[in-house]
Amino acid sequence: MARRKLVAGNWKMNGSRAALAELDAIASAAEAAPNVDVAVAVPFTLIAPAADRAPGLAIGAEDVHEADSGAHTGCVSAAMVQEAGARFTIVGHSERRADQGETSQDAWAKAAAAHRQGLNVILCCGETEAERNAGRAERVVQAQIEKSVPDNADGSWFTLAYEPRWAIGTGRTPTVDEVASIHAIARAKLRMLIGDAADGVRILYGGSVTGENAAVLLAVENVDGALVGGASLTAAKFVPIIEAAAGL
């Protein structure tokens, strides 16, 4: 099945209103690449101004709470980010799992909450370096997918992102064969869980994606795009990744 490439940026805890000027060139690059979907997840404080400034881009949140509302001080619900202009959210990011102790069950609940509010979801999975060195990468990813993916997931709103934790922000990436192997395993696991709908689900690769390595990574079978961290903060680094996706 042919799946459109998706290049999604994740600004993490970076950015300011002044930084939103970077979206101008990113939006122009997206317009010049009609065969590619482009999305940018920004901090909660920037969702509304980003959506106003770049209506042609899919602006999203970096996380949501699993409850629709309630006594959850400091948390933000899917309904809130949707009202602010978000079209999607990331859930289960490895930094949330590592720093905030989130589990795959938490990611499942957040994905379900986001879908209830009409948001698209990018759900992340990936192993640590210790898990890979112990030969457990495949089992870890399969277990995370099994516990995180909602039963009603399909490609109209759901995207999976494989991000080996040890590659995030380090400049290191798995080999092409390693990426191909995990993405094939992820696709097979999705088919076990949601049947034929799995063929419509995009699987992104994330972890030190740059303009230099994007074309090689995005050409791998079952790699349907990229989840980009630091390189998405500036148009100078993000646009070449969009262009690489457009050229495939």
- Where exactly are the structural domains of the chain? 5-63+73-233
| pLDDT tens readout for residues 125-157 | 999 999 999 999 999 999 999 999 999 999 999
230 is in an annotated binding site: yes
Report residue 200's pLDDT band, with 50, 70 and 90 as the boundaries: very high
Residue 66 in this model has a pLDDT that exceeds 90 = yes
Which of helix, strand or coil describes residue 207? coil
12 is in an annotated binding site: yes
Nearest alpha carbon to residue 230 among 209, 205, 202, 201: 209
Question: By the 8 A CB rule, do 229 and 12 touch?
Answer: yes
Query: How far is residue 11 from each of residues 1, 75, 135, 232, measured CA to CA in Å?
Result: 31, 18, 31, 7
Residue 1 in this model has a pLDDT that exceeds 70 = no
The residues that are catalytic are: 93, 163
Report residue 211's pLDDT band, with 50, 70 and 90 as the boundaries: very high
152 is in an annotated binding site: no
Q: Average of pLDDT values for 65-91?
A: 98
Report residue 53's pLDDT band, with 50, 70 and 90 as the boundaries: very high
Q: Which CATH superfamily is domain 5-63+73-233 in?
A: Aldolase class I (3.20.20.70)
Q: How far apart are CA 228 and CA 206, in angstroms?
A: 6
208 is in an annotated binding site: yes
